[in-house]
Amino acid sequence: MSDLLTILLVGIFLPLFPMSMVFNAVLENIKPNGLRVILFILWPLIGLLIALNSDFSIPDWLLPLALSTSLLYAIRMLTLREVNQWSGFLATSIWGLLWLPILQGSSAELLYSFAIGMSVPLVLLVLLAAGLERRFGAAYTGLYGGLARTIPRYAWVLVTVVVAAIATPLFPTFFFMLDMVVETISSTPSAALVLLLIWLFWSWAGTRLIQGLIVGRASNSKIADMDMTSVSFYSIVLIALMVAGIYLAGAIL
């Protein structure tokens, strides 16, 4: 019974459906961006902290549930148009997969590195969404579009961050996914196939998000583009993420 309760508790932070809905409900009700950033960083870390410090046996149904949760949110992301909500669903889909290295007995250090490496692009996306809300009143795809012409620097950063978030080489999530496929292919080939499917849906959802925001004619009204200091900040974080990805690859592959 206590095992089940622990799993239910951890399942809130390392999302397992239906507990996964808690994170998205919390995200929807938190408006200050600072709190959102903290939420994105701390949420999976809390889950890992509890999971790694609790003594509980893992049932057989956990792996299918974790994969199904991740797949469910990957599919649901396809039709989301609000950027914050999209980030929340992607986070739910990604963090749910952290159960896999836990099941394989990966080291705590590696698990925390994975969690942070996968959350940082989402944090950047939340910050960018806030910038869009300031400029346009909403961070919504298909509403205004044409960012590539209206605010090209902002669009460039936004595209790169989305690309980083959806597990594109050389960012940490890519190496995490590659490692998970390698680890599961022999023992549970079906899990490897589901992982690849989830990965495909992330790419699909990511391109829909990009297209809904950057494609289209330039806006007539004058809107301030991102200043060079912010561009430098985002660029440095993205480069650091790539370096971290390569470092992680060296450690796991």
225, amino acid identity = D
Residue with tokens 């739910």: 92
In the complex with other proteins, the residue whose CB is nearer, 9 or 193, is: 193
143 binds other proteins (CB under 8 A): no
Out of 5, 52, 211, 240, which residue is the one contacting other proteins (CB under 8 A)?
211
Given 4, 182, 224, 240, the residue binding other proteins (CB under 8 A): 182
Interacting residue with other proteins among 5, 8, 28, 104 (CB under 8 A): 28
Nearer to other proteins, 126 or 155 (CB): 155
Rounded distance between C-alpha atoms, residue 12 and residue 23, angstroms: 7
* Residue 8 within binding range of other proteins, rule CB under 8 A: no
How far apart, in whole angstroms, are the C-alpha atoms of residue 121 and residue 166?
Answer: 9
List contacts with other proteins (CB under 8 A).
21, 24-25, 28, 72, 75-80, 85, 146, 148-149, 152, 155-156, 159, 163, 168-170, 174, 178, 181-182, 185-186, 189, 192-193, 196, 199-200, 203-204, 207-208, 211, 214-218, 249-250, 253
